[in-house]
Amino acid sequence: MQEFTKQVQNFFAQQIELYGDELAVEMEQLHASTESKVISEEKDVWQKSQTPAELNQRIENCRKCKLAETRHKFVFGEGNPNADIVLVGEAPGADEDRMGKPFVGAAGRLLTKILAAIQLTREEVFICNVLKCRPPQNRNPQEDEIHACEPYLYKQIELIRPQFVLCLGLFAAQTLLKTTRSLGELRGQVHTFRNAKLLVTYHPAALLRFPQYKRPTWEDVQLLRRLYDEWKKS
C-alpha cells in the first residue's frame, strides 16, 4: 500500500514537473480571456450609450456586486437628460428599491422642497445616487460596491454634461472627489469634477434627524443658485 501511494505521488510529481508550467499558462489564458470578455462588454456599455436612457437599458440588469441578489429594482436615477445640475445621493432606500426611482421616500420629499426653495423642480435637474441598488437594511455602501458601481455614475455625468454637481452627503462627496475629508470641511466651497463645478451639502435624511444642519444646507443651496444664475448670465 505504501509502495502504491509512493508511486501515485511520484506520478503526480512527474506530471507537475512536465506540465505544471503549461497548466499555469493555460489557467492564465483562461482567466485573461474571461477578463477581456468582461472588459469588452463594459466597453460596449461605454461606447454605444449616447443618452442616459440608453445607458440605463444597458446596465439595469447589472450583477457586478452582491446587492444584485437583494435588490428589487435597479435605481438608475431620473430627470432631465440635459440637466445643468446633477444631484448625487448615496443609495436607494426601501421606497426607492420598490419604485425604481431615486429619492421618493421621506428624504426625497424634503429634497423636492429644498429644490423648490431655490426655484428648481425635480424635472429640470437630474437626480441619482452613487449606488444604484439598495444596501440591505440601508447599511452604508461598502467599498467593493462603490468600486463596482461608480463607473456608472461617471458615465451618467459624462452623458448629461452638467455645469454643476451637488453632492448630497459624505458618500457622494468622497466618491466623486476621491477624498476622505469630512463633510464639514467639504461644504461651503466650490470644487471641480471634470468640467463641472461641484458643491457638497448635507444629505436630506441627515436633516430629518439633525435639524441643526438645515441652516448650512440652506446656505449651500443658495450658493448653488447664485453660481447657476451667474453662469446662465455669462
Contacting residues toward ligand URA, per CB under 6 A: 80, 83-85, 89-93, 96, 102-103, 105, 107-108, 120, 124-125, 129, 205
> Rounded distance, CA 13 to CA 93, Å?
55
Residue type for position 30: L
CB of 95 vs ligand URA, minimal distance in Å? 7
Q: Could you tell me the smallest distance in angstroms from the CB atom of residue 19 to ligand URA?
A: 53
Shortest Å distance, C-beta 146 to ligand URA: 13
Q: Which is nearer to ligand URA, 96 or 220 (CB)?
A: 96
Residue nearest ligand URA, CB atom distance = 89
Nearer to ligand URA, 16 or 94 (CB): 94
Say which residue the cell 466650490 belongs to.
Answer: 190
Q: Select 38 or 116, whichever has its Cβ closest to ligand URA.
A: 116
In order of 121, 177, 194, 197, the CA distances from 191 in angstroms are 24, 8, 10, 6
Nearest approach, Cβ of 229 to ligand URA (angstroms)? 10
Cα-based angle 14, 15, 16 (whole degrees, multiple of 5): 90
Q: How far is the CB of 96 from ligand URA (least distance, A)?
A: 4
Contacts of 161 (CB under 8 A, 6+ apart): 82, 195
Q: How far apart are CA 128 and CA 12, in angstroms?
A: 56
Residue placing its CB nearer to ligand URA in the complex, 16 or 53:
53
Terminal Cα-to-Cα distance of the chain (whole angstroms): 90
Of 49 and 80, nearer to ligand URA (C-beta) is 80
Give the 3-state secondary structure of residue 78.
strand
- Least distance (Å) from ligand URA to the CB of residue 87? 9
Helix (H/G/I), strand (E/B), else coil: 69? helix
Q: How far is the CB of 93 from ligand URA (least distance, A)?
A: 4
Query: b/e string for 24-41 if b means 16 or more Cβ within 10 A?
Result: eeeeeeeeeeeeeeeeee
Q: Name which of 148 and 204 has its Cβ closer to ligand URA.
A: 204
Cβ-based nearer residue to ligand URA, 148 or 167:
167
Helix ranges, 49-142 (H): 52-59, 94-99, 106-117
